[in-house]
Structure 1
């Protein structure tokens, strides 16, 4: 059965066990597909890339909220009213 691999760098679980930081570094800042018996088991992603991914997801969620609220009535209030 064929499996899509969504990374340009792949490594085996054995490689990851032998040298975890080297495996992460091999991806040069991008995810590394970790294979188990030649099938993708999971993706090893550097902390910076993961943080950027979460920020993008948050931006998408906020944009969806803003889009859903577009056209709603605007109620002006002053700080004293809060």
Structure 2
């Protein structure tokens, strides 16, 4: 059984009929697109998607920094105002 990670759902057929109305009715919330009652895709607002990508990039950079410290790298203090 697949868990649905959205409060709103729509079938693929509903999405095909009127995608603009579906997006408008969601009011910025993600929508799980179902195919045979299982999630096939998620429709998320562009701002949410951009924030997700940024968070993933930050996570990857954190992993790189942690690995460098484990490998004996020396941390450098940086003032964020200087960047």
The TM-score bracket by the shorter chain reads 0.7 to 0.9
Structure-1-length-normalised TM-score: 0.76
| 3-state SS in 1 of match to 2:61 | helix
Structure 2: segments with no counterpart, 5+ residues: 76-83
RMSD in angstroms over aligned alpha carbons? 1.9
| 3-state SS in 2 of match to 1:61 | helix
| 3-state SS in 1 of match to 2:27 | coil
Which residue does the alignment assign to 2:73? Answer: 72
Aligned residues: 74
Does residue 12 (structure 1) correspond to residue 11 (structure 2)? The answer is yes
CA distance in 2, matches of 1:25, 1:31: 11
Map 1:2-81 to 2 at 5 A. Answer: 2-70=1-69, 71-73=72-74
